[in-house]
Structure formats: structure tokens, C-alpha cells
């Protein structure tokens, strides 16, 4: 069976417009949250957000697709693949999103609600910018194209699907990841659920008050080890494990005993073959909400112990929803390559109930394997394990 490896990384978020450009500030603990400016939201208490600044995002039909395209270009460049690479291999796309398929056109909905007749172009534009299909068309990835909509685990599951396709011999190369834009619908929705914080988020902190939303895209070039070696590509990591399940406990809350995330972590670790002493760190879902951090912290401590370093990179990007798992996969891989992790920004006071204490400063890591967790609405739990290339 073929091994799924990663040869290229692409990222755009509030941290920076490339993967490597993001890391220096992160290692120093610098983050770039700010008041909401992309749209108006009439709410009693506004939450800071992590917006992206990039000239390619001006007046766009689909901000989510444009974010993805920026990250795709970076990932393909690092992987050494030109625009015609699909003529020489079996190529596919797997992209996770939430806003990218929610049709976030507020003007259309407002007009429709008022019993007016809005222009159909908004719907036509939406149908034309399905992220996986649009990327597949742009690069002529004709093998398979799947857009994953598993809420906040979407990006993780897209990478997991790419791993399965490679292992089963369906593809040689998969452009995989996730993308999501800041959107009025989700901003108001999370505000209504009382999950947003009026200040910068502080994952796993005793005084955490909720999450901040963000936007961005993370893309991985996933290919078979045989294909990568044949073309002389540098292998960054192997995707050694993937586990997922749905605990079906509650539409928006995690199972109080962490049943789903523990099963997903156990399955991913078993598949990876990693021993506990070989795990370098865990990139937690770490949203900074009361229940998520409590449940996930306990699950991490139970499955891998509380001595393995844990970081939440959402403290630098905000919660990017369908893009979160993919963005965190990019950071997890890059941190594994750099042999260090950043602090969990905003963390100050440990919460004994969470059973873990996240990173508080730039920290050197040891071990071959790194874990990236995702917990999502609807009870979806997804985990990736990466192994450093030997």
C-alpha cells in the first residue's frame, strides 16, 4: 500500500500570507486580532476577529475561494509542481469549508426576505465557486474533486480523505486542505450561541471567555511516496495516522466525557504506530470555549498523558471554522520541521479542570510524531498524526 506524504504547504491567515512568514511572530507570541471591519454586525458586544489583509481579496466573488487559491499556489510551488503537473499524473482535490458552501450573500437573503426579486447572479456565482471543483478546474485535476462540509473538522477530514485516496491508489497527487472567510452569518451565529469572547481568546486558561473568529486557508500537497521519490521531490512528513468519528451527542456541544475525540485520537495513533514517547506535541483544537477546552484537555491527558507539550494555534488565527483543521495541519507540520512550537498566546492561568497546561513560551520539541485535533459541531471528531521524514 502506498504511503501518503506531504511535499508542499500553503497558508494564508491573520498570521501572514505564507506559511513561513507566519512563524516568526508566532514564536514570539505576537498575534494580530482587531475589531471587525469586513462587514457590519449589530450586536450588543463585539468580539475581536482575525482578518486577512491581501490585495487579491478585494471585491471578490468568493473570498473563500480566493484564500484557497493563494494557499494552493504556495503549496504547489514548494512541492515543485507547475500548472501542467496534472498532465503527468492522476490528480485530485479535497477541500474542507463551511462558509464556502453556505452562500454568504447577505444582500441576496435580505432582498428575498423582503419579498423582492434579487438578481440570480448571486446564486450563479455561488454555484461556480465550489472550492474543490473550482481548484480542480483551474489546475485540471480531473480524477476526483470533493468539498467536505463537516463543520470545524472539514479541513482535517479533507486531508484524511486525501490520505485514503493515495493509499488506495486512486491518485498520485491530491491538493487537500480547507478554506473559510469571515462571514456575517457565522459571526452572528456564534454570538447568538454565546461562544464568542469580548477580548482576545486564551485557550485552556482558567479565565477564558470564548472564541474569536478568523479566516484563512491551509493547503497540503499530498502524494504517494513513490510518486514523490520518482520526481525527486523533498518529502516533508508522512501522514501516518487519521481517525474520525461522530459521537452524535449534541448539535453544538462535545460529549462531556470526550468519547468521540478519545476514539479518534486512539484510532489515529494506532494507525500511525507511534509510541507515547515518540510524540513531540499535540496541536489542540483549543477554541478557548469553556466546554471544548475542558473536554479536549481531559481527553489529551487520558490518551497521551499530560507531560507531552500542547499548543493551540487558534490563539494566533482565531477559529477559522472549515479551514481550521487544514491551517493547523500546516502549522503542525512546520513546527515538527522546525523542532519547536510557539506559546499558546493569551494563556496565563492554568485551569486544573482541563488536566493539561499548554505551551507558555517558544519550546523545543523532541519526537518524530505530532498530533492535530479537530472537534466540530454535530459531534464530529477528527485527528491527524504526522511523522517527520527520515
Q: Which residues are catalytic?
A: 152, 285, 319
Rounded CA separation 312/97 (Å): 20
Q: Report which of 368, 319, 355, 352 is spatially closest to residue 48, judged by C-alpha positions.
A: 319
Residues 6+ apart with CB under 8 A from 163: 4, 222, 239, 242
Residue with cell 458552501: 101
Residue with cell 499530560: 306
Rounded CA separation 61/103 (Å): 11
Q: Cα torsion at 202, 204, 208, 212 (round to 10°)?
A: 50
Rounded CA separation 219/357 (Å): 29
The DSSP call for residue 235 is: P
User: Could you give the angle at which helices 290-304 and 259-272 cross, rounded to 10 degrees?
Assistant: 40
For residue 314, report the phi and psi dihedrals to the nearest 5 degrees: -65, -20
Amino acid at each position: 500500500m502506498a504511503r501518503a506524504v506531504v511535499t508542499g504547504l500553503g497558508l494564508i491567515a491573520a498570521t501572514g500570507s505564507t506559511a513561513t512568514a507566519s512563524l516568526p511572530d508566532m514564536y514570539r507570541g505576537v498575534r494580530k486580532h482587531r475589531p471587525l471591519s469586513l462587514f457590519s454586525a449589530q450586536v450588543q458586544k463585539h468580539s475581536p476577529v482575525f482578518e486577512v489583509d491581501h490585495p487579491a481579496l478585494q471585491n471578490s466573488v468568493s473570498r473563500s475561494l480566493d484564500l484557497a487559491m493563494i494557499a494552493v499556489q504556495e503549496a504547489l510551488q514548494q512541492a515543485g509542481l507547475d500548472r501542467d503537473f496534472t498532465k503527468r499524473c492522476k490528480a485530485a482535490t479535497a477541500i474542507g469549508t463551511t462558509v464556502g458552501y453556505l452562500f454568504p450573500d447577505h444582500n441576496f437573503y435580505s432582498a428575498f426576505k423582503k419579498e423582492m426579486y434579487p438578481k440570480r447572479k448571486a446564486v450563479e456565482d455561488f454555484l461556480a465557486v465550489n472550492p474543490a471543483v473550482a481548484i480542480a478546474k483551474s489546475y485540471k485535476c480531473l480524477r476526483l474533486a470533493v468539498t467536505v462540509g463537516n463543520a470545524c473538522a472539514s479541513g482535517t477530514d479533507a486531508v484524511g480523505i486525501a490520505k485514503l485516496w493515495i493509499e488506495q491508489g486512486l491518485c498520485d497527487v491530491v491538493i487537500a486542505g480547507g478554506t473559510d472567510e469571515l462571514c456575517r452569518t457565522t459571526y452572528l451565529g456564534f454570538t447568538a450561541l454565546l461562544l464568542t469572547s469580548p477580548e482576545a481568546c486564551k485557550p485552556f486558561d482558567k479565565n477564558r471567555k470564548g472564541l474569536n473568529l478568523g479566516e484563512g486557508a491551509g493547503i497540503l500537497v499530498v502524494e504517494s511516496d513513490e510518486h514523490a521519490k520518482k520526481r525527486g521531490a523533498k518529502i516533508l512528513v508522512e501522514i501516518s495516522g487519521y481517525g474520525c468519528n461522530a459521537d452524535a451527542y449534541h448539535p453544538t456541544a462535545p460529549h462531556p466525557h470526550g468519547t468521540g475525540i478519545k476514539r479518534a485520537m486512539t484510532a489515529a495513533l494506532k494507525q500511525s504506530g507511534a509510541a507515547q514517547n515518540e510524540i513531540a506535541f499535540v496541536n489542540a483544537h483549543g477554541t478557548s470555549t469553556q466546554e471544548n477546552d475542558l473536554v479536549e484537555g481531559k481527553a489529551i491527558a487520558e490518551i497521551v498523558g499530560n507531560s507531552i507539550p500542547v499548543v493551540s494555534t487558534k490563539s494566533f488565527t482565531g477559529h477559522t471554522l472549515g479551514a481550521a483543521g487544514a491551517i493547523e495541519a500546516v502549522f503542525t507540520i512546520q513546527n515538527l520541521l522546525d523542532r519547536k512550537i510557539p506559546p499558546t498566546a493569551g494563556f496565563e492561568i492554568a485551569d486544573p479542570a482541563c488536566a493539561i497546561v499548554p505551551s507558555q513560551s517558544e519550546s523545543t520539541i523532541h519526537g518524530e510524531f505530532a498530533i492535530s485535533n479537530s472537534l466540530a459541531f454535530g459531534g464530529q471528531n477528527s485527528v491527524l498524526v504526522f511523522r517527520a521524514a527520515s
